[in-house]
Amino acid sequence: MASDLFPADVSRGARALHTVCLEHGLTVATAESCTGGLIAAALTEIAGASDVFLGGYVAYANAAKTRDLSVPESLLEAHGAVSAEVALAMAEGAVEATGADIGISVTGIAGPGGATPTKPVGLVHIAAARRAHATLEERHVFPGDRRAVRLAAAKAALALALRATAL
């Protein structure tokens, strides 16, 4: 059943991740910044989500990333919140904080403001940590307005998490 809350591709991504996690006995947690909980919401649109989804964090402020996800302040200072290093730490922090098998993280600049010369609007770093495996990370620059960037980031994060199930 499709959700009226999300575009079909986001709903399909959430359903695919849910199904594979059920088949393999895996659990998931989220650590979201620019997506503001969209990934968690897409996963919890599915009946029986609690069989797979343990919980999530919307760690928008740097202080929340540090407090809730154990992202070292030194990483934030050295690389900024929108960086591969912070995305990796967020995903791994979600796994540690919840005990999930897979942690999904997203940090980026959804716009319209917040860009710098080296970090444009639409820049998003996504990571998927799988317990006892290497953490996957991707860098994207998504086109469009704030809504388009956030939805594209959620879709890409769900796809990366699905790849992490195969590790």
| Domains of the chain by start residue, with CATH | 8-164 (3.90.950.20)
> Helix, strand, or coil here: 44?
helix
Closest CA to 28 of 162, 138, 148: 162
> Helix, strand, or coil here: 72?
coil
pTM of the complete model: 0.96
Residues 6+ apart with CB under 8 A from 70: 89, 93, 96, 97
* pLDDT exceeds cutoff 90 at 23: yes
Query: What's the confidence (pLDDT) of residue 4?
Result: 80
Confidence of residue 3 (pLDDT cuts 50, 70, 90): low
DSSP type of residue 136: E
DSSP type of residue 125: E
34-67 pLDDT tens trace:
999 999 999 999 999 999 999 999 999 999 999 9
